[in-house]
Copies of this chain bind each other. A is one copy, B any other.
Amino acid sequence: MRENPRRRQHQEAVVRQRLGQPEAGWRQRWYTIIFEADTREGRIFDVALLLAIVTSVMIVMLDSLPALNQRLGRVFTALEWMFTLLFTAEYVMRLLVVRRPWRYALSFYGIIDFISIMPTWLAFFVPELHFLIDVRLLRLLRVFRILKLTVYFEEAEILYRALVNSRRKIFVFLAAVFIITVILGTVMYVVEGPEHGFHSIPVSMYWAVVTLTTTGFGDMVPKTPLGQFITSLTILLGYGIIAFPTGIVGAELAASIMKRPLTTRTCTHCLTEGHEPDAQYCKHCGSQLPAYQNDRPEVPGGRDGATGP
C-alpha cells in the first residue's frame, strides 16, 4: 500500500530505462531539462510549463464568456495558438530527446500530452472542439512529480486501492443500478407517457438515473398519481441501493486505516510489536522499550505508521 523512498527511486530508474534515456550530447542535456526536475533548469522548465498550462486553460474559459469573447476574441485566439504551438514544440522535443519515442508516445503522460494539443489543430475542421483543450488540465498531474508531493501520491494510492479492492462490488452495484434504470425508465414511460415529458425510454432512463441518485433536476417529473406512487417507492428502495457506494468505499477505507499498525515498535525482550507511540514499557513483558523516533512529526498520533526506522 505504501512505497518507501528507495522503491520509488528504483521505479524512476525503471521509467528512465523504459523510455530510453540518451547517454550524452544535447539530447542528454535536454532530456534532463524536460523530463527531470532535479536540476535548476529542469525545475524552471517545469514551473514555466505548469504556468503555461494554467494560463492556457484560463484563456479558454474566459474566451467562452460572451462579453469577453466579443471584445477580446482575437487576442484569445492568438494566445491560444501561441500556447498550442509552444506545447506542440515541447511535444516534438520530448519525442526527439527520448531514445524510444513510441514508448513515450504510448505512456500515460505521453497520451495526455498528445490529446492536449490535438483540439486546437482539429478545430480547423470542427470549430467547437477548440474548447476541449481544457483537457490540458490533466497535464497538471505532473505537479505531483515536480513538487515532490509523494505524500499525496500515497494518499491518492489509498483512495485508489479502496476503489480497486471494491471494484467487483462496484461492478455488481452498477449492474444492479443499470437494470433498475432500464426497468424504471420503461415503467415510467408506460405510466406517464410522452404527454408528461417522458418522450421515449432512453429519456425516461435519463430521468431514472437523475432520480435514483437523488439529483432530481425537476425537468421531468411524474404527474399521474400512479407515477408519483411508483416514484416514491423507487426513490426509497433506490435510496437503499444508492447507499452502497458510500458504504463500500467507506468500509474499505476504514479497513485500510484501522489495519495499519500503530507503530512497528518492537519489544527487544519478548519481540512483540505494534506498541503505541507513547508507550515506554512493553505491555506484555514489562521490559523497557527503546525510545520512539518518528521522522514524520506532522502526522498526529503516528497514525500513518512510519514504516522506516
**Does A24 count as interface, using CB distance less than 8 angstroms?**
no
Chain B residues, CB < 8 A from A211: 215
Distance (Å) between the CB of A119 and the closest chain B CB?
10
Chain B residue nearest in CB terms to A171: B152
- Complex interface: stretch among A27-35, A92-100, A202-210: A202-210
Chain B residues, CB < 8 A from A285: 280-281
Chain B residue nearest in CB terms to A253: B251
Q: How far is the CA of A57 from the CA of B283 in the complex (A)?
A: 55
Given A182-B134, A217-B218, A232-B206 contact (CB < 8 Å): yes
A285-304 residues at the B interface, CB under 8 angstroms: 285-288, 297-301, 303-304
Contact in complex: B190, A132 (CB < 8 Å): yes
Partner of A134, one of B173, B177, B183, B288: B183
**Does A151 count as interface, using CB distance less than 8 angstroms?**
yes
**Does A142 count as interface, using CB distance less than 8 angstroms?**
no
**Does A168 count as interface, using CB distance less than 8 angstroms?**
yes
Interface of A is mostly: helix
Contact in complex: A169, B158 (CB < 8 Å): yes
Q: How far is the CA of A38 from the CA of B173 in the complex (A)?
A: 28
Contact in complex: B283, A281 (CB < 8 Å): yes
Contact in complex: A281, B280 (CB < 8 Å): no
**Does A268 count as interface, using CB distance less than 8 angstroms?**
no
**Does A61 count as interface, using CB distance less than 8 angstroms?**
yes
Partner of A284, one of B131, B140, B281, B301: B281
Contact in complex: B66, A194 (CB < 8 Å): yes
A207-262 residues at the B interface, CB under 8 angstroms: 209-211, 213-219, 221, 225, 228-229, 231-232, 235-236, 239-240, 242-260
- Complex interface: stretch among A13-21, A42-50, A82-90, A159-167: A159-167
Contact in complex: A280, B284 (CB < 8 Å): yes
Interface size class of A (residues with CB under 8 A): 35 or more
Chain B residues, CB < 8 A from A161: 300
**Does A1 count as interface, using CB distance less than 8 angstroms?**
yes
Contact in complex: B258, A252 (CB < 8 Å): no
Given A134-B183, A162-B247, A249-B240, A210-B190 contact (CB < 8 Å): no
Q: How far is the CA of A279 from the CA of B232 in the complex (A)?
A: 46
Chain B residues, CB < 8 A from A12: none
Chain B residues, CB < 8 A from A179: 137-138, 140
Contact in complex: B276, A182 (CB < 8 Å): no
Chain B residues, CB < 8 A from A51: none
Distance (Å) between the CB of A278 and the closest chain B CB?
8
Chain B residues, CB < 8 A from A201: 60-61, 64-65, 131, 134
Other A-B pairs, 7, CB within 8 Å; known A131-B189, A152-B172, A281-B282: A66-B194, A134-B183, A137-B183, A161-B300, A250-B250, A255-B257, A255-B303
